[in-house]
Chain A
């Protein structure tokens, strides 16, 4: 009987220690810097309410949307280490995921249309100002200046930064293609060109 009481007391004591330990704040998320050096362009499907990555190379002529994904070349290694495994006294709270801030940020984005958009905007025209940018917080679009300013608003969950771009005018042509240059703070230029975009 005495042993049962002792075991009960030890279990209660252990349980209390476990509860107290679970109240310990797991600490701030570790923050890493990343240096973007790779540009990838992804077509976006903005036909309906919610934005998604387009699996096809066709878009509505009223809803031409692109996503610029700017990453470090060691991105894949970074992504595979999504969760830091650290020692924690209890598993009541998970250790925080690492966060990333951009070093050598984007200072300018330039878009040139390789096909004519309409009668006035011919092939080879700089159409940067015809694109608006998506914002993580707002429903409406923002300007490029604001989107670039917003790069530092909060850390990123991955060592990558994305800019969603939406073309304002309707494309009258049946095909579109855009050449994009991203200029970084140290004047490095990252370039990429979309494939042929079939418009309907």
Chain B
């Protein structure tokens, strides 16, 4: 007999942990790359300067929500209630290497206090002219999504959905790849950088399973959602200001302030499978959701050491 196995709900937590491990491993590889560059530099003199920086970050999310229709729209359930903007504060780390051949490479990584990756970003810039350059990079971040099962409680009032762990908070991940231009103003003790970048990005694919039983009835069903990666255009400008405070021989220390805006118009499309009574009795449909304006604004304050 053919049987259908769904991923148990608990394993979604494991998937998130798996992604976190993958992200941590990626950051580790990049840090190792930087250290190997550092080791190489003693021989070749390729590198102009190094900069490392602990940062305090502040993040604002605004995901526009719409009224629910016939099918669930996962973007209607951000962490805040009733679609209000929501905020995070977290600590991070930034590292930057400036090469002698007008190339700059930067890595930003940060973790939320609930241990999900807040930001992993890799950026490279080439400056053929003194103040103008082209940049490219990739970014990944996450946010929390709340109680999407309230959709089912409203849609099926005669069902008891209070089964299993239908009501857990979920971490949603987004990635984007981008390119753009950078204006770089190297003042005496100050530095200003403005980037205008655009690219493509979207939510990582995920799966959700919801179990429900009709009250005063034997009827049971499982609703299984499987989303797919959906590319949307992304607009991603950023600005950075640095102020030197201490300059001693080859070592420079100072503070930096960064700000960025991640704007996209995105949707989470999915395949919905409803298993009724048994796993053999199922119906499948593809659902295209509406595009939502999605805004993430990041601000950070850092203390940098450059040598």
Contacts and interface: CB of A to CB of B under 8 A. Distances in A.
B217 A141 contact: no
B275 A62 contact: no
A146 B1 contact: yes
A185 B152 CA distance: 45
Interface residues of A, number: 22
B211 interface: yes
A9 B279 CA distance: 64
B218 A64 contact: yes
A132 B276 CA distance: 12
A49 interface: yes
Contacts of B217: 60, 62-63
B141 to A, nearest CB: 34
A139 B278 CA distance: 9
Given A48-B160, A145-B1, A149-B1, A62 B277 contact: no
Contacts of B218: 46, 62-65, 132, 166-168
A67 interface: no
Interface residues of B, number: 22
Nearest to B280: A143
B17 interface: no
A49 B277 contact: no
A146 B277 CA distance: 14
Contact of A60 (B213, B216, B222): B216
A47 interface: yes
A140 B277 contact: yes
Contacts of A63: 216-218
Nearest to B5: A138
B163 interface: yes
B160 A139 contact: no
Interface in B212-232: 213-222
A180 to B, nearest CB: 17
Contacts of A62: 214, 216-219
Nearest to B160: A49
Contacts of A138: 279
Interface string B264-307: 00000000000101111000000000000000000000000000
A146 B278 CA distance: 11
**Candidate in B3, B160, B279 with the most chain A CB atoms within 10 angstroms:** B279
Contact of B222 (A140, A142, A166): A140
Nearest to A145: B1
A48 B215 contact: yes
B164 interface: yes
Contacts of B278: 132, 140-143
B40 interface: no
A168 B278 CA distance: 11
B247 interface: no
A63 B215 CA distance: 9
**Candidate in B162, B218, B220 with the most chain A CB atoms within 10 angstroms:** B218
B279 A140 contact: yes
A139 B164 contact: yes
**Across the A-B interface, the 4 shortest Cβ-Cβ residue pairs:** A62-B217, A166-B218, A60-B216, A49-B160
Given A47-B216, A139-B164, A143-B278, 4 more contacts: A63-B216, A132-B277, A140-B279, A149-B1
25 contacts: A47-B216, A48-B160, A48-B213, A48-B215, A49-B160, A49-B162, A49-B163, A60-B216, A60-B217, A62-B216, A62-B218, A62-B219, A63-B217, A63-B218, A64-B218, A139-B220, A139-B222, A141-B220, A142-B278, A146-B1, A149-B1, A166-B218, A167-B218, A168-B218, A168-B277
